[in-house]
């Protein structure tokens, strides 16, 4: 299994080499090299921010196609709670669930039902771990990955429970095998996901050895097909819904925490906000909090890059849908071995990917070099070198991945010096015949022109500064 | 090659939005060094407390951080009012922070005690009306 598997990738053809993604990447994982964006696999947490900001649609999410359904004898769809927030005037989730069956899935299992089990298990965990508060949610794979590479001191605070999608997959696979008598490999478990981060989770999960989700489909792919079938679902529909308010609330920021029956929680969404909260948590600024819910996307899962509806509109729709639902419909005691399904089976290890060197002495020497380089670089963070900031360029230089010449300002200064040197050289040249004199005149003329154009660049910048 | 890395930060007075910038910067650099997460945590907490103290009590000042492969030394120097009773100030829960600062969630009287708790050595030099210099050491 690839520790640094990624579902967020680059389309080389479409990339223009602009600086939008490098400036917005929250972990500074992207560089432009040779005119194309390059994602550093160790720094990237698959949050999907670059997909959002790329004006050329050169960043893409890897997920499965719907025709994968044909490879199985029996298929189960696991709709994410955020899916319910995508539709206008939806007042019964059964319409969505029945439409999924009409699309060809043999069965459906709501992720929101599994979420209710995770909520119960979390309440239990909080009650028995009061010495280790606050506990940090692990439902968002990008957040767990971020903590893994950047916040080693917070790893022990991670909630060691499977995310709802995993619990749903375990339960759905179990029940499908019982129902049909088919072997596990004949059954396809399909998660309908709001984000690529869940694809990463499925391919390379943290907290469990192997995910029981077989394929991940994008909400945006399913959406048009689902819409047409939803219109065909009549009043006589099958009751497939097995979750209530608590489960469905997980689709938006604050939903997970609200199912814990405590006011003493914090819920932050949007990756930049998440990072700020984690920084403060690390400095022990919230010692009295019980629970911290973090979602990489604005608004929570409804803000995922594979959704279609505006996250804040989707949130309103979810709220409306939940209004007349029972509090919860799925409980731990309804499942055998529920504890085993919910708990993590592996731990998360710190990956110090941001270290400057391989050992302390090397890192130490390199940090000193970075400090010195930062003083020399212009500090404009223009991005022209392909790195998001001058400091990031300095770090790349000491890691041997870039050179000072990548800085256009540095390059301009060295061109100045170069032309002065050539000019001095030309002055000192001994000239014999007339032809050589003529050539020297032309050479000097060119040098003069280069100098003038560089001076123009300088003065443009002076004006810009004013 | 391995001279100490020296980082200098000016701390502006009464600016709570910027308080913590210096300690956050140091924390980021220490993580790049790959030193133990526990040491990073100690430095971050101790320095943040000190930085906040300078903002609340001392009209700002200067923090100088010296990093060597063996230890991290933080010198927090201010030209504030000085600490009249160091022993009292070191007691957990004792605070002279004004109400408006406490309303912001600061001033719990845990600053100096936490700085001592999270460092391997702490020295306070203070003169009334002249200022305070606190030197903290975290060994690597």
3-state secondary structure chain A: CCCCCCCEEECCCCCCCCCHHHHHCCCCCEEEECCEEEECCCCCCCCCHHHHHCCCCCEEECCCCHHHHHHCCEEEEEECHHHHHHCCCCCCHHHHHHHHHHCCCCEECCHHHHHHHHHHHHHHHHHHCHHHCCEECCCCHHHHHHHHHHCHHHHHHECCECCHHHHHHHHHHHHHHHHHCCCHHHEEEEEEECCCHHHHHHHCCCCCCCCCCCEEEEHHHHHHHHHHHHHHCCCCCCCCCCCCHHHHHCCCCCHHHHCCCCCCEEEEECHHHHHHHHHHHHCCCCCCCCEEEEECCCCCHHHCCCCCCCHHHHHHHHHHHHCCCCCCCCCHHHCCCHHHHHECCCCCCCCCCCCCCCCHHHHHHHHHHHHHHHHHCCCCCCCCCCCCCHHHHHHHHHCCCCCHHHCHHHHHHHHHHHHHHHHHHHHHCCCCCHHHHHHHHHHHHHHHHHHHHHHHHHHHHHHHHC
Find which of A153, A370, A399 to mutate to test the B interface (most B CBs within 10 Å of its CB): A153
Cross-chain Cβ contact B34/A352 below 8 Å? yes
Beta strand A265-269 pairing with A291-295 = parallel
DSSP-derived letter for residue B98 is: -
Residue of A nearest to B6 (CA): A368
Cross-chain Cβ contact A367/B41 below 8 Å? no
For residue range B66-124, list pLDDT tens digits in order. 999 899 999 999 999 999 999 988 988 888 888 877 877 777 778 899 999 999 999 99
Q: How many C-beta neighbours within 10 Å does residue A297 have?
A: 27
Find which of A282, A287, A366, A395 to mutate to test the B interface (most B CBs within 10 Å of its CB): A282
Spatial separation of the C-alpha atoms in residues A111 and A246, rounded to whole Å: 12
pLDDT of residue A458: 67
Q: Which CATH number fits the domain A1-62, given the four candidates 3.30.70.20, 2.160.10.10, 3.40.605.10, 3.20.20.70? A: 3.30.70.20
Chain B environment of A148 (Cβ under 8 Å): none
For residue range B83-96, list pLDDT tens digits in order. 999 998 898 888 88
Cross-chain Cβ contact B33/A284 below 8 Å? no
Q: Of the candidates A228, A216, A244, A226, which has an alpha carbon nearest to the alpha carbon of residue A304?
A: A216
Enumerate chain B positions whose Cβ falls within 8 A of a Cβ in A.
Answer: 1-3, 5, 7, 20, 23-24, 27, 29, 31-35, 37-38, 40-41, 44-45, 48, 67-69, 140
Chain A environment of B16 (Cβ under 8 Å): none
Residue A324, CB-side half-sphere exposure with 13 Å CA sphere: 4
Cross-chain Cβ contact A350/B37 below 8 Å? yes
pLDDT of residue A465: 47
The mean of the pLDDT values for chain B is 90
- Gap from A52 CA to chain B (nearest CA, Å): 27
Spatial separation of the C-alpha atoms in residues A57 and A328, rounded to whole Å: 40
Q: Of the candidates A116, A78, A105, A101, which has an alpha carbon nearest to the alpha carbon of residue A325?
A: A116
Cross-chain Cβ contact A363/B41 below 8 Å? no
Selecting from B34, B35, B41 the residue whose C-beta is nearest the C-beta of A282 gives: B41
Does residue B42 carry a pLDDT above 60? Answer: yes
- Gap from B39 CA to chain A (nearest CA, Å): 10
Cross-chain Cβ contact A368/B5 below 8 Å? yes
pLDDT of residue A337: 77
Q: Which two tokens stand for residue A226?
A: 């689902």
Find which of A155, A350, A363 to mutate to test the B interface (most B CBs within 10 Å of its CB): A363
Spatial separation of the C-alpha atoms in residues B105 and A18, rounded to whole Å: 43
Contact A11, A36 (CB under 8 A): no
Preceding amide of B106 cis, omega within 30: no
DSSP-derived letter for residue B50 is: H
CATH topology of domain A355-404: 3-methyladenine DNA Glycosylase II; Chain A, domain 3 (1.10.15)
Chain B environment of A364 (Cβ under 8 Å): 2, 5, 33, 67-69
pLDDT of residue B1: 45
SS3 B70: coil
pLDDT of residue A401: 95
10-residue averages of pLDDT along chain A (466 residues): 89 95 97 95 96 96 96 98 96 96 97 96 95 96 97 96 97 96 97 97 95 98 95 93 96 96 95 96 86 98 97 96 91 81 94 92 94 94 96 96 92 82 75 77 81 71 50
Contact B46, B96 (CB under 8 A): no
Under the phi-then-psi rule, with left for phi > 0, alpha for psi from -120 to 50, and beta for the rest, what region is A114?
alpha
- Gap from B26 CA to chain A (nearest CA, Å): 12
- Gap from A372 CA to chain B (nearest CA, Å): 10
pLDDT of residue A445: 83
SS3 B97: coil
Beta strand B131-139 pairing with B71-78 = antiparallel
pLDDT of residue A1: 63
Q: How many CB pairs under 8 A join A and B?
A: 64
Q: What are chain B's domains?
A: 5-139 (3.30.565.10)
Spatial separation of the C-alpha atoms in residues A425 and A394, rounded to whole Å: 33
pLDDT of residue A454: 75
């Amino acid at each position: 299994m690839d520790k640094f598997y990624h579902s967020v990738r680059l389309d080389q053809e479409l990339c223009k080499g602009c600086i939008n993604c490098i400036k917005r990447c929250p972990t500074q994982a992207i560089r432009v090299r040779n005119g194309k964006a390059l994602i550093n696999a160790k720094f990237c947490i698959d949050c999907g921010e670059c997909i959002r900001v790329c004006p050329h649609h050169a960043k893409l999410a890897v997920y499965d196609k719907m025709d994968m359904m044909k490879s199985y004898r029996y298929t189960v769809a696991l709709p994410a709670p955020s899916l319910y927030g995508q539709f206008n005037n939806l007042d019964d989730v059964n319409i969505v669930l029945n439409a999924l069956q009409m699309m060809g899935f043999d069965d459906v299992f709501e992720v929101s039902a599994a979420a209710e089990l995770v909520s119960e298990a979390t309440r239990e965990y909080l009650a028995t771990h009061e010495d280790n508060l606050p506990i940090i949610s692990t439902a968002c794979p990008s957040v767990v990955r971020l903590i893994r590479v950047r916040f080693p001191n917070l790893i022990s605070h991670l909630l060691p429970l499977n995310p709802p999608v995993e619990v749903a997959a375990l339960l759905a696979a179990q029940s499908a095998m019982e129902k049909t008598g088919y072997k596990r490999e004949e059954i396809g478990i399909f998660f309908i996901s709001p984000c690529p981060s869940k694809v990463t989770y499925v391919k390379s999960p943290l907290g469990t050895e192997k995910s029981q989700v077989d394929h991940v489909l994008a909400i945006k792919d399913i959406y048009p097909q689902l819409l047409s079938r939803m219109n065909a679902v009549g009043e006589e529909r099958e009751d497939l819904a097995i979750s209530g308010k608590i489960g469905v609330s997980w689709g938006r920021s604050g939903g997970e925490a609200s199912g814990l029956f405590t006011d003493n929680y914090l819920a932050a969404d949007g990756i930049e906000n998440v990072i700020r909260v984690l920084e403060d948590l690390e400095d022990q600024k919230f010692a009295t909090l019980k629970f911290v819910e973090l979602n990489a996307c604005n608004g929570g899962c409804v803000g995922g890059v594979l959704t279609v509806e505006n996250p804040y509109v989707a949130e309103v729709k979810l709220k409306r849908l939940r209004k007349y639902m029972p509090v919860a419909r799925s409980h731990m005691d309804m499942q055998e071995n529920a504890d085993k399904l919910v708990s993590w089976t592996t731990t998360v290890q710190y990956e110090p990917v941001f270290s400057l060197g391989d050992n302390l002495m090397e890192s130490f020497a390199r940090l000193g070099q970075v400090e010195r380089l930062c003083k020399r670089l212009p500090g404009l963070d223009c991005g022209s070198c392909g790195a998001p900031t001058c400091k990031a360029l300095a770090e790349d230089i000491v890691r041997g991945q870039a050179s000072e010449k990548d800085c256009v300002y540095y390059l301009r200064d060295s061109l100045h010096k170069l032309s002065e040197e050539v000019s001095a050289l030309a002055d000192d040249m001994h000239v014999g015949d007339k032809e050589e004199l003529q050539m020297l005149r032309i050479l000097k003329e060119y040098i003069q022109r280069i100098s003038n154009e560089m001076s123009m660049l300088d003065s443009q910048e002076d004006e810009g500064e004013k | 090659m391995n001279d100490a890395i020296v980082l200098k930060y000016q701390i502006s007075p009464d600016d709570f939005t910027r308080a913590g910038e210096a300690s956050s910067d140091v924390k980021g650099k220490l993580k790049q060094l790959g030193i133990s997460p526990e040491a990073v945590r100690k430095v971050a907490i101790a320095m943040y407390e000190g930085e906040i103290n300078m903002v609340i009590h001392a009209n700002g000042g200067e923090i100088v951080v010296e990093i060597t492969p063996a230890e991290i030394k933080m010198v927090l120097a201010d030209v504030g009012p000085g600490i009249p009773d160091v022993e009292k100030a070191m007691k957990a829960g004792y605070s002279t922070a004004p109400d408006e600062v406490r309303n912001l969630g600061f001033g719990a009287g845990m600053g100096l005690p936490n700085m001592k708790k999270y460092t391997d050595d702490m020295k306070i030099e203070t003169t009334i009306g002249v200022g305070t210099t606190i030197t903290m050491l975290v060994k690597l």
